[in-house]
Amino acid sequence: MGTDKNKQKKYVSVRKALRELRVDEGELKKIIEKGAIKAYPDKDNVKFDADEIEKYRTSRIQNNEENPKIADESLYESADVSFDSLFVSQAQGRSAASLTEEIPQEPDILFGPSTPKQNIKDFLNKKKPDPVSPVKAIQSVRSRDKGTTGIVSFSLFIVIIMLISINSFLLLQIGGAPTLPKINESKAINDELVPQISIVGKVVPAQTHVIVAPASGKIKQLVTTKLNKDKVIAVIDNANSLQREQLRMELQQALLTWELQKNKVSGLSAKAQKEIAQISEMYRKKGTVNSSNLSSWKKGVQSFAKSIKPSALDVWLQLQKARQNYELAEKKWLQNAQNNTIKASFAGQLLSSYSKVGNNVQAGDILGEYHSSTHQLQVVMSKSEFRLLEMQNQVTVTLPNDEQQKGKIHSAVAEDHLVKVNISIKMPVNLGMQLKVTFSLKKIPECVLVDRRAVFFQKDIRGESQAMVCKVLRKKGKRYAYPVSVVVGLYDEDYIQILSGVDPGDVIAMATSTPLANFTSGQQLQD
């Protein structure tokens, strides 16, 4: 199946590609170097996939990149085109061998997008006209026609303007050879790396608590100032105030009855009080008395302590009942009060308030967010980055004044595909402040490293950013630049990991006054 498809492929020659793309030889070479199209072997020359040529031509038209000013297309037929130095295989990009075996040639100078080399040489070999003196030109014109003074004056003016233009053009053409760019070099090394990543984090409260209305009613109290732990934050005035008032009255009545019964006991004789104490001890051993079994307990006590007078036993039973009623009423009252009161579980402040005193709320409504007084720095990162962290290591926090402080990871919370890393900090910071955090990752024992200043980025034909370095090769005692794409990994303050595209010992250009992105493949450099 695959063989049949290859046979059906349509290929075009170099000249056909030049016509279709409306470019010259130099531009076609650049297109191939960028990987936009591929060149395939064709005997002593190369050929191109017709579909690739058409797709690239269409993309140039859509992006308004096609040059509308094209010279006579017949000139392509006589163009001496060679692509030996640009031949690529079916694999993506150029082979490494082409960088080491290729001997750079002086670039061809093209005149117009489609002028053949022979025409270019003829053009360059033409002898430049000698500058003409404006005075001689005027004298010559005057000698031709002395009778037409007005016409001659106008002609003189035109001639002078033309001579000035020609002289300016010739002066621009006369000059020395362009200065070769100067660069510094560094070598790719094979060494260990303790990588680092820097992420901007945000100062957040160390603890937060969402305040929810425990019951329906009106907000009676809402404290927005700083509070200590267990202090009241909010109080809801329950709509069922009749029930609360009834509980309060029952509590007061039960307390009064209990006090009266205690007074009765204290007014009894010493013998009666002793009998009541005996009954209390018996009940303590048997179990707690409640209102539902007082009568049964009364019969039981009488059978076990027949010597105790019924009057003393009745006084004791009334005392126990009053105590139980009071405790039950007190429990109901406190429970009702707790249900309508919110206390601080930690020291802090209600910073985000969604209601105010006097507002009616329903049970479950959010009243606000209570934040702790202590702060932490929170950083969000991917799970793949988090797996590389050394949790026991300290992190470096950079303050707005570029001062650096140490922090420590104390917790991490995973949410979907992200992880929130919380960092404890001791320096004074404000809530919401954004600070840069630098993490040290797990050490890589051995990898290819280059200086971070040697890596630059360019957009490829798809508009995606591609990491690049500029290799430096020596040919016949001269240095030449060869930009190549690389795959980068992690980095530290000085070096960046290269996963592919560079080998240890490769000579790499360093960023100087000339941007590395400006270099072309095979460009000669200063020695």
Split at pLDDT 50, 70, 90, the class of 127 is very low
Which residues contact residue 125 at a Cβ distance below 8 angstroms, ignoring those fewer than 6 apart? none
Amino acid letter for position 325: N
- For 196-206+374-442, CATH number out of 2.40.30.170, 2.50.20.10, 3.40.50.1950, 2.40.30.10 equals 2.40.30.170
**Over the Cα atoms of the chain, what is R_g?**
47
Q: Domain 184-193+446-525 belongs to what architecture? A: Beta Barrel (2.40)
Can you give the pLDDT at residue 322? 67
* Contact of 505 with 188, CB cutoff 8 Å: yes
* Contact of 455 with 467, CB cutoff 8 Å: yes
* Contact of 441 with 388, CB cutoff 8 Å: yes
Which residues contact residue 33 at a Cβ distance below 8 angstroms, ignoring those fewer than 6 apart? 86, 94, 521
Can you give the pLDDT at residue 108? 36
Which residues contact residue 180 at a Cβ distance below 8 angstroms, ignoring those fewer than 6 apart? 524, 525, 526
Nearest alpha carbon to residue 180 among 104, 256, 251 = 104
Nearest alpha carbon to residue 291 among 248, 255, 259, 327 = 327
Amino acid letter for position 472: V
Q: Are strands 478-485 and 465-475 parallel, antiparallel or unpaired?
A: antiparallel
Structure tokens at 71: 């010279």
* Contact of 457 with 494, CB cutoff 8 Å: no
Which residues contact residue 202 at a Cβ distance below 8 angstroms, ignoring those fewer than 6 apart? 377, 378, 432, 433, 434, 435
For 34-93, the DSSP string reads: TTSS-EEEETTEEEEEHHHHHHHHHHHHHTT-S-S----GGGGGG-----GGG---SSSS
Q: What angle do CA 346, 347, 349 make, to 5 degrees?
A: 110
Distance set, CA 155 to CA 28, 232, 324 (Å) = 46, 102, 130
Q: C-alpha 313: how far from its chain's center?
A: 81
Structure tokens at 460: 């490829």
Q: What are phi and psi for residue 219, nearest 5 degrees?
A: -70, 115
Split at pLDDT 50, 70, 90, the class of 164 is low
Q: Rounded to a whole number, what is the largest CA-CA distance in the chain?
A: 168
Q: Are strands 366-372 and 208-212 parallel, antiparallel or unpaired?
A: antiparallel
* Contact of 441 with 390, CB cutoff 8 Å: yes
Over the stretch 426-457, which tens digit does the pLDDT of each residue have? 877 888 888 898 888 888 889 999 998 899 99
Amino acid letter for position 466: Q
What is the H or E stretch that residue 471 is in?
Answer: strand 465-475
pTM (predicted TM-score) = 0.40
What distance in Å separates the CA atoms of residue 448 and residue 317, rounded to the nearest whole number?
91
Calculate what percentage of the chain has a pLDDT beyond 70. 59
Distinct helix (H) and strand (E) counts, the chain = 13, 26
What is the H or E stretch that residue 525 is in?
Answer: strand 523-525
Split at pLDDT 50, 70, 90, the class of 128 is very low
Split at pLDDT 50, 70, 90, the class of 10 is confident
Higher pLDDT, 140 or 58: 58
Amino acid letter for position 57: R
Over the stretch 275-298, which tens digit does the pLDDT of each residue have? 666 666 665 555 545 545 555 555
* Contact of 439 with 201, CB cutoff 8 Å: no
Over the stretch 198-231, which tens digit does the pLDDT of each residue have? 889 998 888 888 888 877 778 888 887 787 888 8
* Contact of 423 with 437, CB cutoff 8 Å: yes
What distance in Å separates the CA atoms of residue 25 and residue 28, rounded to the nearest whole number?
5
Weakest-pLDDT range from 67-71, 99-103, 349-353, 488-492: 99-103
What distance in Å separates the CA atoms of residue 15 and residue 77, rounded to the nearest whole number?
7
Q: C-alpha 55: how far from its chain's center?
A: 34
Can you give the pLDDT at residue 470? 92
